[in-house]
Amino acid sequence: MKTTILAVLTMALSLAAQTARDITEFTLFKRTDPIKVGELNLILKDVDVNRQRFKIIVIVDDHPIEKKDMDIKVPFYVYVGNNTAPHELVITKVAENQITGRVISPK
């Protein structure tokens, strides 16, 4: 009985360690040079406030990834370096020449 409880606790701790995340909140303004948010570099290219859409460049390991007509609250997953868990980019608000969101990174 004790070994079963110990095995379950070990699995629970292992799962908790795998799902541990760092959350970085940010506001990004429209500009030409990248801003570092966590391990990602971001450039906001365009904003459509009426349609609540935006165009962003995510620079990962010196490789730019351009995402056009992105909707808010739709996660975008990026793998950085040798991590087996992805970084998650979620934009929560679109305003005139700026976006607000968060980057959720593995610990």
DSSP 9: H
DSSP 85: S
pLDDT digits (tens, 9 = 90+) for 30-65: 988 999 998 899 999 999 999 999 999 999 988 999
Instruction: Dig out the tokens for 76 from the structure.
Output: 């975008």
At 26 the pLDDT is: 94
Domain limits of the chain? 20-106
Reported pTM: 0.77
Instruction: Identify the residue with better confidence: 102 or 12.
Output: 102
Mean pLDDT of 67-83: 90
At 82 the pLDDT is: 84
At 5 the pLDDT is: 72
